[in-house]
Structure 1
Amino acid sequence: MPKDTRNNDTQYAYSVGKIRAIERKLLDKGKLDRMVEAKTPEEALKVLQEADYGKGGSDSVNIYEYENLLRDENKKVYNLMKEIAPEPDVFDLFLISNDYHNIKVLLKSEFSGQDYASLLVESGSIPSDKLKAMIRDRNMANMPAIMKNAVEECIEVYNKTLDPQVIDIILDKASFKQMKDTSIKSGKGFIKDLVMLFIDLANIKVFLRVKALSKTWDFLQKVLIPEGSIDSKVFIQNLDNPLDSFIDALKFTSLGAFLQEGIESFKSTGTLTKFEKLSDNLILNYVKKSKYISLGIEPLVGYLMAKEMEIKNARIVMVGKINNISNEVIRERLREAYV
């Protein structure tokens, strides 16, 4: 049963104050511009160090180790949430997708006989070594029920079909189901609506990919994530129609303008690059509402999402600089800044 948190927001007074203080170090447009305009990757990396990435200051970091810097920053922000949030377990919701990524890696490694350990990510709600032991020993009693059932279904269905695609389909659905269930149990409408947005964006992306591959209705129904705000019938009925019909079906919803721009780009380029950027901007604009909330979990979630986007932007710039990509192309790929 969802928690009644209407009278609990005052417990966030300290943590919101802390977040407001450290928000000032987020990379704003000016700092991102400095990174993009940097003459060398080293100059771009220096902007991150000035924003307290790594140890901060002038400590020398090899530019090719920037990914370690970004990964450490991601861990640092989640550790901060756990440290200052009155309800730290709520933030596990944002790590669930990493757990399911690791499960995919572990199962595919087992079934193929290949070692994919390098693809495991550290920042999950369950340490990757514990997940590995649970799956290896088939001892999953301590897994959340949704996750346990999904892993068991993957093992059963793969053994019958030998089709690795079933692993992705089963685990993607389970990941979003666990996120949605967790958001509902939190009693936080702001988080529940954010997860709903995640599901809707994932389903639209799936729809576009399925349509581009000329897959069947049956396949689309298998891969659609249930319980989003967009009825599955909208996707099914428009699979064989022009994309303009899909846009028309949703133009009077909150996603209307986003779909118009994102799908037009997809139609003209055949890629989801612009769509994914617009999706990230939509998420960021949703959480920006938290900047005007003085008490509650919203400012913490806003900061967390802001750091996720900031790290993504930092990665885009560093990849661009190391590979001599033009400043114009780098700018086109950047997401909006939170501040």
Structure 2
Amino acid sequence: MSENSYIYAVARIRTKEMQLLNASFLEQLLAAPDEAQCLRLLQERGWGSGSAEEVLTQEHQKTWDLIAELVGDMSVFDVFLYQNDYHNLKAAVKEACTAGKHPGIYMQQGTVPYTRIQKAVEGRNFSLLPERMRVVAEKAMNTLLHTRDGQLCDCIIDKAALEAIEQAGKDSKEELLALYGELVVVTADIKTAVRAQKTGKDRAFLERSLASCDTLDIVALTDAALTGFSAICSYLEKTPYAEAVPELKVSAAAFERWCDNLLIHRIHPQLHNPFGIGPLAAYILARESEIKTVRIILSGKRNDLSEASIRERVRETYV
């Protein structure tokens, strides 16, 4: 895509950024008495109508429709969809190893149609898959068939997904996409290490699960997880992710929120970048973040959670 085309695309994105939800509007949602009122407020802001899930799905699709309109080659953003591909691979492998069909378990948007993944796994014709997925698909399938260990199957596919995201970010030669890939792996590795420590997993599990990245030493993280939670915190305090430690000490939910906020903080400079693919990629991530936040608020209202309880889970905004 030419530089001039990017200039036009970024100009369009600047107008769309003005429609992103800000902190003030989120306060209105938090103060709303129920889910129905939240949906009315969102509709007044130009969001769709229908049930909560229908509205969120519509908004997700709007984002990708806009990007498709602005960018001729959508493959540059494939890295954002890899997690869906590997989720669908897990679903297909487990479906193939059990009786019956479960269509509701698949995600619609990915770089590979989920029906092709189904067909490849069912027929064990892994050549139907992209090269990056072939080996892991066969390995996961054989593992589940021979061990019936669903968690081991998940570990194999999850690690492959992280490695694919990290590599795709680097291969893109785009700073923001490389940053995205790195942060996805970092936050996943920290979550895995903490869960493994709390559940008493062994070194073999950690070695199967943690994916390499540039800003964490996964050998040191593995050693820390095998030592104890305090050791994990001590290790992280020596890394660029020291700010994660207080959140980990609060709760898993607090850490999840910190992870999402970290990404928003790191992409924020794209608001002032007039060129390139960065502002478009940042807009996609900002939209995904605000949709997640709205989902959290709507779910909280639906389940009669207190405003304070919902507020603890709300993510920071891009604008």
Residue number among 177, 195, 218 corresponding to 1:209 in the alignment: 195
1:175 Cα deviation after fit: 1.0
Residue number among 253, 258, 264 corresponding to 2:249 in the alignment: 264
The more displaced of 182-191 and 313-322 is: 182-191
Residue number among 274, 278, 281 corresponding to 2:261 in the alignment: 281
- Equivalent pairs counted in the alignment come to 319
Whole-angstrom distance in 1 between the partners of 2:271 and 2:238? 27
Aligned partners of 1:16 and 1:294 also within 8 Å: yes
**Could you say which residue in structure 2 is the equivalent of 1:323?**
303
Aligned partners of 1:90 and 1:186 also within 8 Å: yes
Residue number among 110, 114, 117 corresponding to 1:124 in the alignment: 110
Runs of 4+ in structure 1 off by over 4 angstroms are none
Whole-angstrom distance in 1 between the partners of 2:236 and 2:303? 39
Whole-angstrom distance in 2 between the partners of 1:89 and 1:133? 23
**Could you say which residue in structure 2 is the equivalent of 1:45?**
39
The more displaced of 22-31 and 39-48 is: 39-48
**Could you say which residue in structure 2 is the equivalent of 1:314?**
294
Residue number among 13, 16, 35 corresponding to 1:22 in the alignment: 16
The more displaced of 176-185 and 323-332 is: 176-185
**Could you say which residue in structure 2 is the equivalent of 1:71?**
57
Segments of 5+ residues of structure 1 without an aligned counterpart are: 267-271
Cα distance per residue 1:90-147 (max 9 Å; x no partner): 1111011011111111211221214332121111122222322232233332421121
Cα distance per residue 1:214-239 (max 9 Å; x no partner): 11112111111123521112112212
Aligned partners of 2:170 and 2:178 also within 8 Å: yes
**Could you say which residue in structure 2 is the equivalent of 1:134?**
120
Cα distance per residue 1:290-329 (max 9 Å; x no partner): 1121111111111111111111111111111112111111
Whole-angstrom distance in 2 between the partners of 1:189 and 1:9? 16
Segments of 5+ residues of structure 2 without an aligned counterpart are: none
Whichever residue aligns with residue 113 of structure 1, its letter is A
The more displaced of 37-46 and 228-237 is: 228-237
Q: Secondary structure at the match of 2:46?
A: coil
Residues 76, 130 of structure 1: alpha-carbon distance in 2 compared, 3 angstrom cutoff = farther
Aligned partners of 2:30 and 2:311 also within 8 Å: yes
Residues 248, 79 of structure 1: alpha-carbon distance in 2 compared, 3 angstrom cutoff = same
Whole-angstrom distance in 2 between the partners of 1:101 and 1:139? 19
Whichever residue aligns with residue 233 of structure 2, its letter is I
**Could you say which residue in structure 2 is the equivalent of 1:254?**
240
Aligned-residue Cα RMSD (Å) equals 1.8
Aligned partners of 2:116 and 2:128 also within 8 Å: no
**Could you say which residue in structure 2 is the equivalent of 1:293?**
273
Cα distance per residue 1:34-75 (max 9 Å; x no partner): 111112322100122223222xxxx6x3xxx21121112112
1:20 Cα deviation after fit: 0.4
Whole-angstrom distance in 2 between the partners of 1:223 and 1:42? 41
